[in-house]
Amino acid sequence: MAEKTESPAAAAHQPNALERLTSLVTGEATPPVAGEYHTHYVLARLREDKPAPGRFHMWGMLFTLFLVMFLAGWNDGTQGPLLPSLQEYYHINYLVISIIWVFNMLGFLLAGITNVFLTDRLGFGIVAPLGSMCQVLGYIFMCWGPPYPLFCFAFVCNGYGLGLQDAQVNNLVSRLPNASNLLFLMHAVYGLGATASPLVATQFVKHFRSKVYYYYFVSLGLGLATALMLLGVFQLRTEDQVAGRRVEDQPVPAVETKSEDGGEAGPAEPASPTTKTGPTSSGSKMKQIMKIGATHYMALFILLYVGVEVGIGGWATSFLIAERGGGDSSGYVSAGYFGGLTLGRVVLIPVTNLIGKRLSTHVYTVICIALMVVVWTVKSLIGNAVAYAFVGLFLGPMYPIVMIVILDVMPFELQAGTIGWIASLGQVGSAFMPFVTGAISQHYGVWIMQPLMIAIMAVWMICWALVPRKRVESKP
């Protein structure tokens, strides 16, 4: 039997994400994703051709991605209202309770180090559920009020799982059509989760103060639902099998040569060995990412930004109770703060588009600094609560802005790894900064949070100014 041949043009074409989603609307079929350039995946099924997901399947995928971010927000909004009650339960001070964020940071760091390696070998459909199940394991340890060392270890599992999921989801959404608006909406859903969790946590503080750890049963239920959705909806698909192969990963067709006299073309020659014909190894990608200065400026910005974002949410309740005479209901202020964060990621999209991503980030930061000065100097419980809500509003757009700028600045082949690395470092910031705040508060009082956050905001403005405006070249 004669072998079936395929023209170079046909072999070279693979549907991108826009073509895939267009086909969902029109009802036209799209070719499956070819597996010949997926040899880096360790399982055979990850290298198989997959038909494009159907219209309702794609909506289910988007819903699941948003659910992951809702749980991430839920997790980050939890600690603020629970912190005073957890201190009472374990009979510990600010410094010791802050250790939970150190263990959380260890998990995030591990996720940042292993994400590219795992993604290149297992793909989204395995790595994201793996992260979700690690997060579930953390909640299993937390929900029965274990000894404090085990409670701290649970945050390693939680941080590792959350770090993997954050990197995977940001990378996948960045490859979909209209990625800019999708990223804003996805991180608004993060804010929605961070708004909802303080409302629920405050009820546990009021009614189950001596056993406030029961709250983590709710988180456990959400985590299990998310893990099952990731497994059931994505069915172990890689990111290429969902969004289409990236342009730089397309196979390079053979090059036809003409005879010296300009006659008919001779037989096709294979592409030059130096031509990129397949994906770069994960180790090589990370080396290239680390050689680019823009990576470090954006990574430091995100580390500081997420640290401030979660630090305010984590310590605002303690600040209002200790410095402004608030009661248990002060936990609702965290909900107002994260509610502002959610709103900012939606209502400020037109403003961001109007004045530009670069300038808008500086403007929003200056406004946040002014509002933090108000919280620091105005000794009013209600006034501080309102100011915190507006801080959340103007902090909101900055994270999705950075994810979009990564797509503008970084080389195509390094965007996925960069997003994963920077997202994981952001989660490191979410653990490191609250710990630093708690450690300093133990010596000077929790009021120190305001000047500390103002100083950090000033530093990230410098980092943002150093991010290049044009796409950089990868360095071998």
CB-neighbour burial class of residue 62 (10 A; exposed 0-12, middle 13-18, buried 19+): middle
Structure tokens at 277: 């014909």
pLDDT for 112-127, tens place per residue?
Answer: 888 888 888 888 889 9
> Any bridge partners for residue 265, and if so which?
258
Query: What per-residue confidence (pLDDT) applies to 40?
Result: 64
Radius of gyration of the chain measured on its C-alpha atoms: 24
Q: Could you give the CA distance from residue 295 to residue 90 in angstroms, rounded to a whole number?
A: 40
Q: Which amino acid is at 336?
A: G
CB-neighbour burial class of residue 234 (10 A; exposed 0-12, middle 13-18, buried 19+): buried
Task: Report the predicted TM-score, pTM, of the whole model to 2 decimal places.
Answer: 0.74
pLDDT for 422-437, tens place per residue?
Answer: 887 887 888 788 888 8
Query: What per-residue confidence (pLDDT) applies to 395?
Result: 95
Query: What per-residue confidence (pLDDT) applies to 176?
Result: 82
Which residues of the chain, if any, have pLDDT below 50?
1-37, 248-278
Query: What per-residue confidence (pLDDT) applies to 311?
Result: 87
Domains of the chain and any CATH numbers: 55-242+281-466 (1.20.1250.20)
Query: What per-residue confidence (pLDDT) applies to 267?
Result: 42
Query: What per-residue confidence (pLDDT) applies to 113?
Result: 85
CB-neighbour burial class of residue 121 (10 A; exposed 0-12, middle 13-18, buried 19+): middle
